[in-house]
Amino acid sequence: MMKDDIIKKAYISAFDINDNGLKDLLIINTKCLVDDATQRYVYIDNNRLKDELIYYNYYGEKPIYNNILNILLPIILSNTNILKSEEVIIDMVNKYIKYLKREDYLFEYILSAVVYNNVIHKIIEDKNIKYEELLQDSKQRIIGFSIELDKMNTIKFQMARIKAIQEIDKYIDLKIEDYNEEKILCSVLNILYDIYIENRDIENDGIISIKKSILSILGEEENLNIDNIDFVLSMSEYIIKLRKYKINKKIYDKKADPRSLIKLETGESALDPIFNQITIVSKNFNNNILNMTIKAKSGIYELKFRKS
């Protein structure tokens, strides 16, 4: 039971930030999880993700900062097996890199995701694990990690791996750097340094989200005074049920188009494949843009449709 509570706290704490774009992606990724009791893991329903992100294009604000690793947290927390979890997050990283057009950072994201996955699993198992042990363990995980690539990319990846190992070694020796938006792995290591050795304040919601999740696993109380708390709480319960393969989630087999919402009038309710039960709160048209406010169980969404 105690582990369930820790996992729920980590999930809730990820939402204790201002950036709605990141919070929306956390919810999207939670809604796309499928529990597979036969193979004992939780994976992402790619068809669902595709449609969710089409909708997100109309209402979401894509995070402009680089450290968005906490969008992986729902996968990490819902999987009990560290290797299965790693497989799913690598697949997820590949999809989001394309979606957010950050291909230049691909290997940096992959290696950072491997480390982050390892850190979360390790501290859930043993919250008394020491800083150095956590880093040594993450280093071993990077050394043992392999990925299928063509020849050109294999060389690039090997170089990125060597660099990652060197970075972890520096942090083991407490030779730290300032936070740097370009260096994703470095910011994960900085978060660990801040938590275990000496705290520094950082104004970046992607980093704050990770920091708060880790701190809550280590015993800090979660802040329940956050937006949309009832829905976030219900999603944290949902993560636990997925972990125990109790949802038996069906694969998404629909095709959704957010533009189909345009025909609905203010006050009307409908069942939408992505938002589920919705009510149209308001509709107005200005500067060739139709603004629609929609109320769903997961929150209030402001959709913008440009006149084509």
Number of structural domains the chain divides into: 2
Please say whether the beta carbons of 34 and 241 come within 8 A: no
> Which residues constitute the domain of residue 278?
258-306
Question: What is the structure's pLDDT at 192?
Answer: 98
φ, ψ of residue 124 in degrees (nearest 5): -65, -40
| 249 within a domain of the structure (yes/no) | no
Residues 77 and 211 in one domain: yes
Residues 27 and 131 in one domain: yes
Residues 102 and 143 in one domain: yes
Question: What is the structure's pLDDT at 218?
Answer: 97
Residues 56 and 165 in one domain: yes
pLDDT under 70 in the chain at which residues? 1
Please say whether the beta carbons of 89 and 76 come within 8 A: yes
Residues 235 and 157 in one domain: yes
Residues 238 and 266 in one domain: no
Question: What is the structure's pLDDT at 186?
Answer: 97
Amino acid at position 21, single letter: G
Q: pTM score, two decimals?
A: 0.96
Amino acid at position 106, single letter: L
Q: How far apart are CA 214 and CA 129, in angstroms?
A: 13
294: three-class secondary structure by DSSP: strand
Pull the structure tokens for residue 165: 């190992």
Residues 169 and 80 in one domain: yes
